[in-house]
């Protein structure tokens, strides 16, 4: 049996940190295992200044990595779970979900600011339609401004005065060691996170039993349950990056609570609901909640996103 694993990932600083964290966990679980991180440049990285909805969505951040995995050039792929489309290619499996990092969004501003104390007319940088719509619902007097680029680029633009604040993921700041950045965590009640936010997905080939066994050692069952519930809802609703959609699952013993929200791109219509079910059947909880939302008209909201 080979004692080497090649880990494919995007080449951004954050993606490399995430892949190294997975490599470290694998080495700790399997003495003598050699892990090599293989950076892969994706279409999404090459088109860094374009709007995601215009170039094919978040799937462009994973296609080349999928190709490398299926082609045998890497043994494992590490993704930010929120970047993974609901439908995955034949021949790959989600082998492990390491423990989830802080899933919340944060408002980055200096001095520290809350959503309620943002100045009227403040420019808030975000690349996320989900964040933009939820922010405007609470603060219609502020302006959201599209911002792309890695975290350091966005923070530099904030320091240059291009924005009064940024909306970012807490997990990204923590994984990059940017704990000194002045930020205010946003409770899920005021801004529901993206599906899979804060979670890493470790994929391998479906026929690679060796790597599947290695990856299972770093799987965190509560994170897996939450991830499967959120992704089952995503698949059932059929949401895309043009749909403002959020879901957040929390585990308490054998119970799983799943909150979900979906809106039209202009935020005029929105639905929010919650389901509580068995954490041992997380996908059933996700499908149940999606069914309720669809019964309340979520299909029309998702369709509005596709045609906007």
Give the residue numbers marked as catalytic: 83
Q: What are phi and psi of 31, to 5 degrees?
A: -60, 135
DSSP string, the chain: ---EEEEEE-SSHHHHHHHHHHHHHHHHHSTT-EEEEEE---HHHHTTTS-HHHHT-GGGGTHHHHHHHHTTS-SEEEEEGGGS-SS--TTEEEEE-PPP----EEEE-SS---TTTSPTT-EEE-S-HHHHHHHHHH-TTSEEE---S-HHHHHHHHHTTS-SEEEEEHHHHHHTT-TTS-EEE--TTTSPPPTTTT-EEEEEETT-HHHHHHHHTT--HHHHHHHHHHHHHHHHHT--TTS-EEEEEEEETTEEEEEEEEE-TTSSSEEEEEEEEETTSHHHHHHHHHHHHHHTTHHHHHHHHHH-
Q: What are phi and psi of 37, to 5 degrees?
A: -90, 125
């Amino acid at each position: 049996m080979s004692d080497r694993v090649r880990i494919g990932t995007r080449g951004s600083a954050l993606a490399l940190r995430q892949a190294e964290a997975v490599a470290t966990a694998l080495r700790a679980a399997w003495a003598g295992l050699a892990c090599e991180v293989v950076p892969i440049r994706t279409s999404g990285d090459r088109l860094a200044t374009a709007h995601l909805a215009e170039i094919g969505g978040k799937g462009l951040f994973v296609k080349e990595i999928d190709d490398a995995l299926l082609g045998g050039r890497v043994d494992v792929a590490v993704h930010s779970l929120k970047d993974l489309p609901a439908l995955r290619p034949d021949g790959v499996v989600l082998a492990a979900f390491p423990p989830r990092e802080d899933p919340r969004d944060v408002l980055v501003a200096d001095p520290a600011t809350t959503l309620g104390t943002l100045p009227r007319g403040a420019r808030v940088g975000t690349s996320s339609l989900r964040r933009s719509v939820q922010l405007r619902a609470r603060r219609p007097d502020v302006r959201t401004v599209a911002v792309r680029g890695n975290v350091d680029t966005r923070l530099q633009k904030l320091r240059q005065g291009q924005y009064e604040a940024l909306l970012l993921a807490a997990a990204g700041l923590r994984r990059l060691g940017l704990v000194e950045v002045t930020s205010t965590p946003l409770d899920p009640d005021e801004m529901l996170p993206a599906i899979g936010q804060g979670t890493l997905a470790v994929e391998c080939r479906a026929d690679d039993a060796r790597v599947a066994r290695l990856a299972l050692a770093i799987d965190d069952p509560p994170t897996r349950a939450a991830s499967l519930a959120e992704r089952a809802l995503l698949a059932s609703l059929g949401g895309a990056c043009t749909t403002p959609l959020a879901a957040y699952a929390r585990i308490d013993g054998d119970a799983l609570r799943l909150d979900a929200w979906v809106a039209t791109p202009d935020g005029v219509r929105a639905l929010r609901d919650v389901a509580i079910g068995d954490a041992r059947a997380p996908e059933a909880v996700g499908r149940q909640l999606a069914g309720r939302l669809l019964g309340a008209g979520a299909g029309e909201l998702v369709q509005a996103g596709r045609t906007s």
